[in-house]
Amino acid sequence: MSGNTFGTLFAVTNFGESHGPAIGCVIDGCPPGMALSEADIQADLDRRRPGTSKFVTQRNEPDAVEILSGVYEGKTTGTPIALLIRNTDQRSKDYGNILQTFRPGHADYTYWQKFGIRDPRGGGRSSARLTAPTVAAGAVAKKWLKAKFGTTFHACMAQIGDVVIPFESWEHVPNNPFFAPVADVSALETFMNELRKSGDSCGARLRVVAQNMPVGLGQPLYDKLDADIAYAMMGLNAVKGVEIGAGFASVSDRGSTHGDSLTPGGFQGNKSGGVLGGISTGQDLDVSIAIKPTSSILIPRDSIDVSGAPTEVITKGRHDPCVGIRAAPIMEALLALVVMDHALLHRAQCGDVHVDTPDIAAANRA
């Protein structure tokens, strides 16, 4: 309600600031009886962690998660799961020089206008660092969905700046620092090295897919599955666009070719991206996002200071030249949280959740 809780039945309340004592979240609504340990969560946190290559921020955070509650003798109890991550490498002095000015394209202006208070420590709460608790919560949702329905989540880079990345295979994603689904990332390395030297930043396009999806998830009229996916993705830092399935390519398409034909063996295409009328079809969910260039750059920009006078801003400190590079695990987490919440909601109203494409008989069960 007050903005820092994601989901309703699997509700994740996020807290913390980039350079405060700690960040974390409380997960309320996790089903009881699931095996869960810190290791289950740490793996995804490590994929999102800063400092793992020269193409991302050099801040060194172990992001070690501690489970404070909700797990007893290795199993979830059905009570809130509190997750705590202590901040360790908060060099706030790096930000001292920006306290009196506003970075073009950055949230420091709007936070100041909204709250009348400014927390300059690494962007405070507007920092991308606050996606870590989201990733941690997403790991819990992923585990449950995989155990229950076999549902899995995979994200990858589709474009960095001008460099379009063809999709070769999910297998390549963990093998390069860009989460790129290609074997050869030399073009990306060249591009990013030049970008870093120029002191500039760039945007990115990413894609996330959920496989083995239950059918029937999503609520009419407003809380559609795709509406909640768009909410989740657009709420991720720096995102300016969201597409599901064919996305903006739908505009110039025709009805005679757009709708995915059905056959006894399944759908003949996935322009829908796995959602029709706001409800999952059982096909793969397929979602893309556009991420804008980071606003914290070494190139001077025109701006104003807190008294309203004109000034020039250069942002030193440690920043991602392409914030999209670390976004893949976050997208997976966000999509998993949306699916998890809808799976529980569907179970509440309709009593079961099933996976089948297209299983007509299933509908007679309800």
In this complex, which beta carbon is closest to a second copy, that of residue 172 or of residue 346?
Answer: 346
User: Is residue 127 a known part of a binding site?
Assistant: yes
In this complex, which beta carbon is closest to a second copy, that of residue 14 or of residue 57?
Answer: 14
Q: Give the nearest distance from C-beta 29 to a second copy in angstroms.
A: 3
In this complex, which beta carbon is closest to a second copy, that of residue 174 or of residue 218?
Answer: 218
User: Is residue 125 a known part of a binding site?
Assistant: yes
Q: Give the nearest distance from C-beta 7 to a second copy in angstroms.
A: 8
Is residue 6 within 8 A of residue 12, CB to CB? The reply is yes
Of the candidates 175, 180, 230, which has an alpha carbon nearest to the alpha carbon of residue 205? Answer: 180
User: Is residue 196 a known part of a binding site?
Assistant: no
User: Is residue 295 a known part of a binding site?
Assistant: yes
DSSP 350: H
Q: Give the nearest distance from C-beta 169 to a second copy in angstroms.
A: 22
User: Do you know the residue count of the chain?
Assistant: 366
Within 13 A of 14's CA, how many CA atoms are on the CB side? 21
Indicate the SS3 state at residue 361. helix
Q: Give the nearest distance from C-beta 51 to a second copy in angstroms.
A: 21
Q: Give the nearest distance from C-beta 197 to a second copy in angstroms.
A: 13
CA distance 109 to 164: 33
CA distance 69 to 64: 16
Is residue 354 within 8 A of residue 214, CB to CB? The reply is yes
Is residue 242 within 8 A of residue 229, CB to CB? The reply is yes
Q: Give the nearest distance from C-beta 49 to a second copy in angstroms.
A: 19
User: Is residue 142 a known part of a binding site?
Assistant: no
User: Is residue 307 a known part of a binding site?
Assistant: no
Q: Which residues are within 8 A (CB) of 29 and not within 5 positions of it... i.e. 6 or more apart? A: 7, 9, 10, 11, 344
Q: Give the nearest distance from C-beta 196 to a second copy in angstroms.
A: 12
CA distance 97 to 124: 15
**End-to-end Cα, the chain, rounded Å:** 32
Pairing of strands 204-211, 75-76: unpaired
In this complex, which beta carbon is closest to a second copy, that of residue 177 or of residue 358?
Answer: 358
CA distance 336 to 56: 25
Computed over its alpha carbons, how large is the radius of gyration of the chain? 21
In this complex, which beta carbon is closest to a second copy, that of residue 10 or of residue 175?
Answer: 10
In this complex, which beta carbon is closest to a second copy, that of residue 162 or of residue 171?
Answer: 162
CA distance 319 to 188: 18
In this complex, which beta carbon is closest to a second copy, that of residue 56 or of residue 217?
Answer: 217
User: Is residue 294 a known part of a binding site?
Assistant: yes
User: Is residue 237 a known part of a binding site?
Assistant: yes
User: Is residue 351 a known part of a binding site?
Assistant: no
Residues annotated within a binding site for NADP(+): 48, 54
Residues annotated within a binding site for FMN: 125-127, 237-238, 277, 292-296, 318
